[in-house]
Amino acid sequence: MLIRFIYSALLILIAPFFLYKLYKRKEGKPSVGKRWKEHFGQTPKLNNQSVQPIWIHAVSVGEVIAVTALIRALKKQMPELLIVLTTTTSTGAEQAKKLIPLVEHRYMPLDFNFAVKGFLKKIKPRQLLIMETELWPNTLHNVAKKLIPIVIINARLSQRSADRYAKFPAIFNLLAGNISKILCQHQDDAKRFTELGINADKVHVTGSIKFDIEITPQVKNAARALRSELGTQHPIWIAASTHQGEDEQVLAAHKKVLQTFPNALLILVPRHPERFNEVLLLCQRNYFSVIKRSMKNKITANTQVYLADTMGEMLILLGAADICFMGGSLIGDKVGGHNLLEPAALGIPSLTGPSYFNFTEITKQLNNADATTIIHNANELAEQLISLFSNSEKLQQQGQSALKIVQQNQGAILKTLQQLQLT
């Protein structure tokens, strides 16, 4: 109780900084608008008040995309099931809109007792599913107090995070005591949870639902159309989900690629929409011929960079490329990489920097199958790209190996549904 009181006091102090970052207007970033009240528990009632919903929390875009296949499976199994999907960010909200009418979207209340209680009073969920490991002490406490089961789905716990929790066992116990089940991606994740003191009966390995990624015919058709538009006769690579400090290295690599393949095209996809214009200026300052996707200008023979300044089109953009470099991996240990399964599911070989601790098991599997290559700087990135573009047989073989890894690991959604026991 004392620990949670101290935590709540600290939360009051840091909340203004968090809210400033959350609400700060940036070009390309959707606005929360009048819905800001939802963060404080003033949540609109559901359209259907007669059924207790399942509450799924997915903090932002990546988590919403990852949980989409599970939502579709839940609705297929139980068409009458009401699902409330919460996100914290406005970009997550934009992604969640694409799932209507499968879900009703609300903003996640901030972790203040009054905000969480206000949300629970309006929504009255019968179960809370938290995507990955988005754990908030007051939320968990208030939900558990109402005897609402809490299940962590697709849970992962890196060694780095486990070591941090181990230094503050009282805080971890405060979180863990309210959790009903933890459905882990990998055996290593489960082992770390149990080593921290979670009852082994609560911990299950269901695999990563991200392997159950669904590439719809619509996505495949859109990717083929984009590739046709960009050109089928020249090499194309994509730098996906890049961060500040990474775009410079990507562009440096592309300069080297252009020396060997003058007609090569880079699809550049910054992770955060507020950086779209910043990256555009960076390309122009480095004398690249660049076209923005949002402008819908036709690609010319001189175009060197195609800047993807739109949201929610990653699979389409990946499907139009020959090779993927996954961002968040070449800027030290700030980010820890992003998910390599999307290019793998499309049969595309990938390259990643050495910082991939958020996706260690997935990256290791792909690397062991020669489906991804770990590079350490712009020079190595350029060398690998040139090597693959020069060897179409190797490029195709790596893509097939990537797809095979995805197919071998599918089935996590079925195992997750069995553990949820919602029927």
Using one digit for the tens of pLDDT, what is the confidence trace for 147-203?
999 999 999 888 888 998 898 888 788 888 899 999 999 899 999 999 998 999 999
**What is the rounded CA–CA span in Å between residue 373 and residue 381?**
9
Per the CB < 8 A criterion, the answer to whether 80 and 51 are in contact is yes
Q: Where are the beta strands (DSSP E) in 112-246?
A: 127-131, 150-155, 181-184, 203-205, 236-242
What is the Cα–Cα distance from 152 to 197, expressed in whole angstroms? 16
Structure tokens at 262: 């003058």
Q: CB within 8 A of 17, min separation 6: which ones?
A: none
Express each pLDDT in 42-63 by its tens digit: 999 998 888 899 999 998 887 8
In single-letter form, the type of residue at position 310 comes to T
Orientation angle between helical segments 137-145 and 113-123, nearest 10 degrees:
40
Axis-axis angle for helices 61-77, 412-420 (nearest 10)? 70
Can you give the pLDDT at residue 361? Answer: 82
Q: How far apart are CA 376 and CA 403, in angstroms?
A: 24
DSSP codes of every residue in 179-201: -SEEEESSHHHHHHHHHTT--GG
Distances (CA, A) of 44 to 38, 82, 176, 201: 8, 15, 30, 37
Q: What is the pLDDT of residue 177?
A: 87
Q: What is the pLDDT of residue 201?
A: 94
- In which residue are the tokens 């992003």 written? 338
Domains and CATH numbers, the chain: 29-212+411-420 (3.40.50.11720), 217-408 (3.40.50.2000)
Cα–Cα distance measured from residue 422 to residue 79, given in angstroms and rounded to the nearest whole number: 12
Nearest to 132 by CA among 180, 187, 62: 62
Three-state SS across 248-285? Answer: HHHHHHHHHHHHHCCCCEEEEEECCHHHHHHHHHHHHH
Tell me phi and psi for residue 127, to 5 degrees.
-160, 145
Peptide bond into 101 cis (omega under 30): yes
> 86 - beta bridge partners?
57, 106
Residue pLDDT, tens place only, 110-157: 999 999 999 999 999 999 999 987 889 999 999 999 999 999 999 988
Q: Return the amino acid letter for 148.
A: I
pLDDT of residue 27: 65
Tell me the DSSP string of 31-48: P-GGGGGGGGT-PPPPS-
Nearest to 337 by CA among 358, 317, 351: 358
Separation between Cα atoms, residue 230 and residue 224, nearest integer Å: 10
CA 245/CA 160 separation, integer angstroms: 23
Which residues does the chain have with pLDDT short of 70? 1, 27-28, 423
Q: What is the pLDDT of residue 423?
A: 61
Taken in order 393, 398, 401, 406, the sign of the CA dihedral is: negative
Which residue is it, tokens 């789905």? 153
Report which of 303, 249, 241, 305 is spatially closest to residue 275, judged by C-alpha positions: 241
| Residues near 24 by beta carbon (within 8 Å), at least 6 away in sequence | none
What's the pLDDT score for residue 28?
A: 64
Integer distance in angstroms from the first to the last C-alpha of the chain? Answer: 35
From CA 108, how far away is CA 43, in angstroms rounded? 9
Q: Which of these, 213, 209, 214, lies nearest to 419 by C-alpha position?
A: 209
Strand order in the sheet with 150-155: 104-107, 83-87, 54-57, 127-131, 150-155, 181-184, 203-205
Q: Which residues are catalytic?
A: 63
Dmax over CA atoms of the chain, in Å, equals 66
Got the DSSP string for 214-235?
---HHHHHHHHHHHHHH-SSS-
Residue with structure tokens 């060694």?
A: 159
**CA–CA separation, 139 vs 144, rounded Å?**
8
